[in-house]
Structure 1
Amino acid sequence: MKKIICLVLFAIGLSVHAQNNLPKLATEIAPLLIGEKIPNVTLTSVENTDVNVTELISKKRTVLVFYRGGWCPYCNAHLAALGEAEKELLDLGYQIIAISPDAPKSLKVTDDKEKLNYLLLSDSTGELSRAVGIAFQAPENYKAIITKGSEGVNSSFLPVPAVFILNTNAEIEFEHITPNFKNRISNDLLIAVAKSLNK
């Protein structure tokens, strides 16, 4: 019994330690920089299947988007705007991948609601958000909603909304990171950058 109690306390300690390792504020993050590579992780699709991120990126240039969750109206507006820019980005040879802490079921709700054609992936454990350096400690008033969106997997972090443009080697060629979650990159700027990188 003592062993079980010790293991439970150890697991709680690890969880608290992991949260404490994250920046407290969105303005304190230290994201990967242009020229650095997105790490190789496996995420989960809307259909609840494993997706290797590096393998996916290796197929074509990628607009990689991190958003807070389908519960966030600013994120939903941004996802819908990306849908409007999708054809032009596809014509330029890009694919769009959007990632959030939401569980696959919650991703499906967002996908159906916004009628998105591009790929949504679940990073409920925060493995990729943390590795990219955009995860921070979720404020107390968000914990219930992110726990629900991730089906209990995440109760501790939020990603700062971010857009990365990557080459097929998963190297960052452009990034737009917005600690103020109400501000997002415009389609005009995104397309202009995509065009300039495509030359």
Structure 2
Amino acid sequence: MTLTKMLTTALFSVTVAVSLPAMANKTVAESADQVSPLLPGQMIPEVSATNIDGVSQPLANTLAGKPTILFFYRGGWCPFCNTQMGQLQGISDDLKNMGYQLIGISTDNPEDLQKSLKDQELSYQLLSDFDSQVSQAFGLAFFTSQKVTDRYLAKMDLKNPLQKNAAGEERLVLPAPAVYVIDKTGLIQFQYVNPNYKTRLHPDLLIHAAKLAL
């Protein structure tokens, strides 16, 4: 199968897997398969994120008018996320040569981001969305189930603040893993979102999407 056909297939599978949004509304979905992510043709939202030094600034300032690959991952505690981060490091030079900057964002705090950068020897930037405001603005945030919340908190040293869902139950909020290709004006040219956190966009498909977006 050609890369173009693979990309088309990937786009189709994502479209049928998630709810189609009208616009970002800063809400948290009740489950991963109910998220309503921003789509190509929409602008990035006005929201702030925190860098590894603990400094918060508008996301638009961080992108600084540069073509950007922005990917959302759950955290450095997630083995699937770590695999993805390593794969993206492997194509980081290719993306840079095309003029893109690569930025990852998760609910990890700045200290944990620094650990990921060191342990994985990453050359790209990581941002903290500790309170899930960015993932909400992109329509990616969802409540984990009570079972998952309890299991994650018991097995891992997560410092993420719990949030109350519609039923008043305190749950862990995570982002559905996503990849966005954003042009220098802040316009989304491509997105890949999959409620199944074990399935990530193949690096070759991202390279192809990035080329098409130029």
Among 35, 39, 47, the residue aligned to 2:53? 47
Tell me if the contact between 2:47 and 2:58 (Cα under 8 Å) persists in the aligned partners. yes
8 Å contact 2:131–2:160 — kept in the other structure?
A: no
Give 1:147 deviation, angstroms: 8.6
Closer, same or farther: CA 189–145 of 1 in aligned 2, 3 Å: farther
Match of 2:179 in 1: 163
Relative to structure 2, which stretch is displaced further, 41-50 or 152-161? 152-161
Question: What amino acid does structure 1 have at the position aligned with 2:180?
Answer: F
Partner Cα distance (2:181, 2:61) in 1:
16
What is the aligned-residue identity percentage? 34
Aligned alpha-carbon RMSD (Å)? 1.8
Q: State the alpha-carbon separation in 2 of the partners of residues 146 and 177 from structure 1.
A: 27
Match of 1:74 in 2: 80
Could you tell me the TM-score, scaled by structure 1's length? 0.83
> 8 Å contact 1:62–1:96 — kept in the other structure?
yes
* Higher-helix-fraction structure: 1
Partner residue of 1:97?
A: 103
Picking from 172, 195, 201, the partner of 1:185 is 201
Q: CA-to-partner distance for each residue in 1:83-106, whole Å, 9 max, x for gaps?
A: 000000000000011000111111
Query: Residue 152 of structure 1: CA displacement?
Result: 4.4
Contact 1:104 1:122 in 2 (8 A): yes
- 1:32 Cα offset (Å): 1.0
Shift of 1:146: 10
- Given that 2:28 and 2:141 are in contact with CA atoms closer than 8 Å, whether structure 1 keeps it comes out as yes
2:169 is the alignment partner of 1:153: no
Amino acid in structure 2 at the alignment position of 1:163: V
Q: How many residues align?
A: 177
Partner of 1:195: 211
Taking structure 1 as reference, are residues 145 and 36 closer, same or farther at Cα in structure 2, changes over 3 Å only? farther
Is the contact between residue 60 and residue 167 of structure 1 (CA under 8 Å) also seen in structure 2? yes
Q: Do the aligned partners of 1:101 and 1:124 also contact (CA within 8 Å) in 2?
A: yes
The more displaced of 44-53 and 180-189 is 44-53
Distance 1:51 1:166 in 2: 18
What is the CA–CA distance in structure 1 between the aligned matches of 2:83 and 2:173, rounded to whole Å?
A: 22
SS of match in other structure, 2:33: helix
Q: Distance in 1 between matches of 2:155 and 2:107?
A: 8
Give the superposition deviation at 1:49.
1.9
User: In structure 2, what is the Cα distance between the partners aligned to 1:146 and 1:191?
Assistant: 36
Question: Which one of the candidate residues 29, 35, 52 is aligned to 2:35?
Answer: 29
CA contact (8 A) 1:102 1:146 kept: no
Match for residue 83 of structure 1 among 89, 94, 97:
89
Which digits, 9 at most, give the CA deviation of each residue in 1:42-90, with x for residues without a partner? 2111121223210222331000000001110000000010000000000
Separation in structure 1 between the aligned mates of residue 198 and residue 132 of structure 2, nearest angstrom: 21
Asked if structure 2 preserves the Cα contact closer than 8 Å seen for 1:147 and 1:153, the reply is no
TM superposition shift of 1:171: 1.2
Structure 1 Cα separation of the partners of residues 60 and 156 of structure 2: 27
Q: Decide whether the 8 Å contact of 1:163 with 1:175 is kept in 2.
A: yes
Q: Name structure 1 gaps, 5 residues minimum.
A: 1-20
